[in-house]
Amino acid sequence: MSFSYAAHDVLEKKQVLQFAGENLKEISIPIRLDVSLGINPKNELNTLEEIALSNQAHNLIIGGVNLGKYIIEEIEEVWKHTDHQGHLLIADVYLRLKEYN
Candidates 44, 42, 45, 49; CA nearest to 73 is 49
pLDDT at 101: 86
Q: Is the pTM of this model over 0.85?
A: no
Q: Where are the domains of the chain?
A: 24-99
Helices then strands, counting H and E runs in the chain, come out as 1, 6
Rounded CA-CA distance 2/21 in Å is 9
Q: What is the largest CA-CA distance in the chain?
A: 71
Element (DSSP H or E) covering residue 48:
helix 41-53
pLDDT at 86: 94
Provide the residue-wise pLDDT of the chain in tens; the chain has 101 residues.
Answer: 899 999 999 999 999 999 999 999 999 999 999 999 999 999 999 999 999 999 899 999 999 999 999 999 999 999 999 999 999 999 999 999 999 98
